[in-house]
Amino acid sequence: MHAANHRSDAQALFDRREIEKPLDALQRIWGYPDFRGKQADVIQHVMTGNDALVLFPTGKGKSLCFQLPGVCMPGVTVVISPLVALMRDQVDELRALGIEAECLWSQQSEEESRSARSKLRAGKLKLIYVTPERAVLPGFSDLFGNVPISLIAIDECHCVSSWGHNFRKDYLGLGKLKELYPGVPRIALTATADPHTRDDIIRQLQLDDAAVFVDSFDRPNITYHIAERDNARTQLLRFLQRHDGSSGIVYCLSRRKVEETAEWLNKQGIKARAYHAGMDPGVKADNQDAFRMEEDLCLVATVAFGMGINKPNVRYVAHLDLPSSVEGYYQETGRAGRDGLPSEAFMIYGMQDIVQRQRMIDEGDATDEIKRIERAKLNALLGICETAGCRRKAILSHFGEAAPARCGNCDTCKNPVETWDGSDASIKALAGVYRTGERFGAAHVIDVLHGKVTERTKKFGHDRLAVFGVGKELSVHAWQSVFRQLLALGYIRVAHDEYGALKLEPSAHGVFKKDVAVILRRDTIDTVRKRERGKPVVAATRAGLAPENDKLFQALRAERLAISKSLGVAPYVVFPDTTLIAFATIRPTTEQQMLSISGVGATKFARYGEQFMAIIVEHFGN
């Protein structure tokens, strides 16, 4: 390896144009007409021998930022990836494009491993995927013989930070790469939007000299919808029925709930499978594989199911429980719609989620400092759940990004929520908490406000309090909403060391004294339900496809499935949905027309072009 001279070598080759121009390679191999966002800048930067930190949201096309340099530069690009499933997916995709790529992982068969290593030494590979622990193993560089390493890519680089989610101990060792391979450019990539984690990545990976490329974290094709829990299963079913025929993920907090929900969905006629860390490894792998291969499967999972998902056509992500934080919510919902087609993020939550989550924090064995951070994270998330404004704006501003006041593509923008001056109601609610001695949960306080004579109200003499019966003007449901919002706004908290009793926070004073007005959102559970019921059931996969092209689209989809099964790869490896939609709309029947469609490169055309054209010709005029 002549690593030390690498920077100047790369520049010289680039200047002499011995390397294929990136745009030419993009069009010839990937069949994409142009780069997206900042891809071209990143690629130019690393191909001239410099380090880069790439912070793009999911779906913006991070992989291309190292795959394309890997193809164009002399030598081999090493890609470090945390999960075998991810590595194999990408290798499948690269091979489908006619690019020589392999991966090395511990449980690989001896034969596969030997074949990969001999291709590597012979200089036949453009990219090699490895796990983080292997990359820093002594003797790793011996595997390459005389073949130079062109670039080192560290994918999912947020795994190096114990701040964010998905911390992986073996990522910590990757800081050594700088000394181990001096002069070899490094590119680290992540979809993590949290500034604290970013700083940590730079420090841990010694990327001080790297240029940082940040793209907007907005995911405009994802519709956000957060609803109050009414009847969770009915709400979920109604949501899933709108997505009939496409794939998505349903997140639950506990393993048991995952199993029960999956079983129940199957009984309702929705094809569902379960996924969580406690499952038999064989079944787990099988279910994950089914999710990759099938186009209409609902995967019910805990957050253990996450990073390994490369599938571009995940059409929806539903949360049946509150996620851990805004970061978690953003990451999990971000798994929808990588292909840029319309997708939906749906969450239902209620008072119980807040109580449960606060209990988990309080009863955990973290330090007080960490607990304080976790509470702040929970409150930030509740703020997004309870906002009367645009959800997208709230999410983006959490990450420090400016956004227009209204996105037009979230529930609160589509059905603006009414707000009301809840100052008087809040005073009653807070007085109810105070007068009952800050020893009870919302249910009992609501009984008191309603003037309901129960065993408890009698036993504690609460039927003799001045607040007894002062809140009859609001329903139980409306009072629950008031308490939830008071929690989200930080006027009260739940004390878990006292069986979930509500306590006043110091800021409640201002409400009592009428220093602050408490503006609350009016819950729209009923109106949302009515509106949704009337919506036609259209599989979002076919979004933007005219009805007269649907038959052709289905035929093309069937062909793709047959090819993918015969090759043992996921359907999107053959062609993504976006390309099939373009086939069905534009109906190319010549090589030239076919190659002009995004996603059709030279290799894919040579392999599958005729087959798909034959179907188009057959359907032509139908």
Interface contacts to ligand ADP, rule CB under 6 A:
32, 35-36, 39, 56, 58-64, 312, 338-339, 576, 598
How far is C-alpha 240 from the chain's CA centre? 18
* Piece of 125-133, 359-367, 400-408, 469-477 that binds Zn ion (CB under 5 A): 400-408
Q: Which of 236, 407 has the CB closer to Zn ion?
A: 407
390 touching Zn ion, by CB under 5 A: yes
- Report DSSP letters for 492-553, one per residue: EEEEGGGTTEEEE-TTHHHHHTTSS--EEEPP-HHHHHHHHHTS----GGGTT--GGGHHHH
Binding to Zn ion (CB under 5 A) within 203-262 occurs at none
- Residue of the chain from 207, 272, 354, 413 that contacts Zn ion (CB under 5 A): 413
Please tell me the distance from the alpha carbon of residue 228 to that of residue 525, in angstroms, as a whole number: 7
Name 519's bridge partners: 421
Binding to Zn ion (CB under 5 A) within 570-599 occurs at none
Cβ burial, residue 130 (10 Å; 0-12/13-18/19+): buried
Q: Which of 32, 140 has the CB closer to ligand ADP?
A: 32
**Partner interacting with residue 410 (select from ligand ADP, Zn ion, none; CB below 5-8 Å by kind):** Zn ion
160 touching Zn ion, by CB under 5 A: no
Least distance to ligand ADP from the beta carbon of 212, Å? 16
Rg, C-alpha atoms of the chain: 27
DSSP label at 29?
I
Determine the residue with CB nearest ligand ADP.
61
Q: Which of 56, 612 has the CB closer to ligand ADP?
A: 56
Least distance to Zn ion from the beta carbon of 387, Å? 10
Copy the structure tokens of residue 502: 């509500």
Residue closest to 400 by CA, chosen among 417, 380, 422, 373: 380
Name 421's bridge partners: 519
Least distance to ligand ADP from the beta carbon of 616, Å? 21
Please tell me the distance from the alpha carbon of residue 314 to that of residue 299, in angstroms, as a whole number: 10
Q: Which of 392, 493 has the CB closer to Zn ion?
A: 392
Copy the structure tokens of residue 241: 């029925």
| Residue keyed to tokens 């080192």 | 152
**Partner interacting with residue 79 (select from Zn ion, ligand ADP, none; CB below 5-8 Å by kind):** none
**Partner interacting with residue 423 (select from Zn ion, ligand ADP, none; CB below 5-8 Å by kind):** none
**Partner interacting with residue 59 (select from ligand ADP, Zn ion, none; CB below 5-8 Å by kind):** ligand ADP
Least distance to ligand ADP from the beta carbon of 337, Å? 10
**Partner interacting with residue 248 (select from Zn ion, ligand ADP, none; CB below 5-8 Å by kind):** none
Is residue 395 within 8 A of residue 330, CB to CB? The reply is yes
Tell me phi and psi for residue 376, to 5 degrees. Answer: -65, -40
Is residue 299 within 8 A of residue 287, CB to CB? The reply is yes
Q: Which of 164, 312 has the CB closer to ligand ADP?
A: 312
**Partner interacting with residue 460 (select from ligand ADP, Zn ion, none; CB below 5-8 Å by kind):** none
398 touching Zn ion, by CB under 5 A: no
Please tell me the distance from the alpha carbon of residue 300 to that of residue 419, in angstroms, as a whole number: 35
* Piece of 51-59, 205-213, 385-393, 548-556 that binds Zn ion (CB under 5 A): 385-393
Least distance to ligand ADP from the beta carbon of 254, Å? 28
SS3 120: helix
- Residue of the chain from 384, 407, 467, 511 that contacts Zn ion (CB under 5 A): 407
**Partner interacting with residue 596 (select from ligand ADP, Zn ion, none; CB below 5-8 Å by kind):** none
**Partner interacting with residue 390 (select from ligand ADP, Zn ion, none; CB below 5-8 Å by kind):** Zn ion
Least distance to ligand ADP from the beta carbon of 33, Å? 7
Is residue 171 within 8 A of residue 132, CB to CB? The reply is yes
Copy the structure tokens of residue 358: 């606060």
Please tell me the distance from the alpha carbon of residue 46 to that of residue 600, in angstroms, as a whole number: 26
Q: Which residues bind Zn ion (CB under 5 A)?
A: 390, 392, 407, 410, 413
